[in-house]
A and B are shown apart, each in its own frame.
Chain A
Amino acid sequence: MSTGKRIALIVGGIYLFLIVLAVGAFGWSRLDNDEFKPQNEFKLDDWIGSGPFAFNKAVMYLLIASALTIGTMLFVSKRMRARPNRVQTAVEWIYTAMRDNITRGNMDDAMARKWFPFIATLFLFIWFSNLIGYIPLPTNTHEKFDLFGAQIPSFALYAATANLSIPLALALVVFIAYNVEGIRAKGFGGYLKSLIPAGITGFAVVPIFALEVLSNFMRLISLSVRLFANILAGHLIILFMAGGLAVLLGIEALGVVIIPFGIAIFLFEVGLVATLQAFIFATLTAIYLGGAVAEHH
């Protein structure tokens, strides 16, 4: 028997043993818990001020992500060396990928030079705000725990992008940017005319034009809801798998059964979804910008 197989068997055995132990200790009876409200994990409490300018945890995450985006990039660019260390190599690789794959792959060179900073900032900002969303921070002011007499808010996962308003604001910026760029390149009438695909003549122009205008506004929804729903659903699944379901149903042993799935989902979200969603958002921005100025639709 190989070592890998043996380790797998031992881990599986411990897992089964822990389940049996938990079932033996607590039983398997359902006792619904009405006090725990999972939606409160995503509720925004006003910390400072109130109304639309209140400071809450989404604003805090936003500020941390902006500070990280600016800080890390300035830090690396100030300390550039001819013989790069590991961090510089990684950042240079990301920079090249953003410049060549995301920006230049989807628009011509003049446009790419102009819009690369915007797209790169968008990518890095969304990436950082997705990633810090998976670090537990003491932000849950609903539930507090006692640490040597000090009331500390519970540690919770939250991401700025798990709130629809932030992806929507980013999508609005993108929407305005590509429409303005298209109008600047072709003139207002020319831009509207370029919405109609080539080869369509006669009466069919009217419904096709209406559909194309509608699909432009649908981009606003799809761009923002894609990011928001991915991050929110990821956080919710982590919440339920890592104990939320056991608390909600009151079955203690269920927590032991599903915790490996919680860990797997967490790794999947951190390793793939956080990066992929930032990549998708930046790529689609580049595609929209390139498409708005392209000669052929």
Chain B
Amino acid sequence: MLTFLTAIFAAAEDGADAGKAIALGVGGGLGAVGAGVGIGIIFGKVIESVTRQPEMRDEITGIQWLGFALTEACFFYGLVAGLIAFFL
């Protein structure tokens, strides 16, 4: 009986560790997917608009970095949430 209970508790402990690892994987991985798509869209649109209107390049560059940083931050939200779940 006792060994059976120990085995169950050990399995539950393993399950908790596995859950933390899944949290880190989902937080980092899915966050990277979303941010990657977003950053790709931003830079694609920047290329499009600069080829259409090369004289607007300076103005577009400023907006481009703003959009890049705002999008990239979403990746870090997921990653930091996953790291907090994993380590704390």
Chain B positions 54 through 88: 1 when the CB is less than 8 Å from some CB of chain A, otherwise 0 = 00000000100110111011001101100100011
* Chain B residue nearest in CB terms to A229: B76
Q: Which residues of A contact B83 (CB under 8 A)?
A: 233, 236
Q: Which residues of B contact A38 (CB under 8 A)?
A: 87
CA A225 to CA B73, docked complex, whole Å: 9
Segment at the B interface, from A49-57, A88-96, A254-262, A272-280: A272-280
A233 touches B66 (CB 8 A): no
Q: Which of A217-234 contact B (CB under 8 A)?
A: 222, 225-226, 228-230, 232-233
State how many angstroms separate the Cβ of A97 from the closest Cβ of chain B: 10
* Chain B residue nearest in CB terms to A232: B80
Please report the total number of A residues contacting B with Cβ < 8 Å.
Answer: 18
**A85 contacts the other chain (CB 8 A):** no
Q: Which residues of B contact A232 (CB under 8 A)?
A: 76, 80
With A276-B65, A279-B69, A280-B66 in contact, do A39 and B80 touch (Cβ < 8 Å)? no
Give the residue among B76, B79, B88 with the most A Cβ atoms within 10 A. B76
A39 touches B87 (CB 8 A): yes
* Chain A residue nearest in CB terms to B78: A229
Secondary structure class of chain B's binding surface, majority of residues: helix
A229 touches B79 (CB 8 A): yes
B73 touches A230 (CB 8 A): yes
Band of interface residues on B: 10 to 19
CA A105 to CA B62, docked complex, whole Å: 11
Q: Which residues of B contact A229 (CB under 8 A)?
A: 73, 76-77, 79-80
B72 touches A101 (CB 8 A): no
B76 touches A233 (CB 8 A): yes
State how many angstroms separate the Cβ of A164 from the closest Cβ of chain B: 10
**A130 contacts the other chain (CB 8 A):** no
Q: A225-B73, A225-B77, A233-B76 are in contact. List 8 more A-B contacts (CB 8 A).
A: A39-B88, A225-B80, A226-B70, A229-B73, A230-B72, A276-B69, A280-B66, A280-B70
Which residues of B are interface residues toward A (Cβ below 8 A)?
Answer: 62, 65-66, 68-70, 72-73, 76-77, 79-80, 83, 87-88
Which residues of A are interface residues toward B (Cβ below 8 A)?
Answer: 38-39, 101, 105, 222, 225-226, 228-230, 232-233, 236, 276-277, 279-280, 283
Listed A/B pairs (19) with beta-carbon separation below 8 Å:
A39-B87, A101-B62, A105-B62, A222-B73, A225-B77, A226-B69, A226-B70, A229-B76, A229-B79, A230-B76, A232-B76, A233-B79, A233-B80, A276-B68, A276-B69, A277-B69, A279-B69, A280-B69, A280-B70
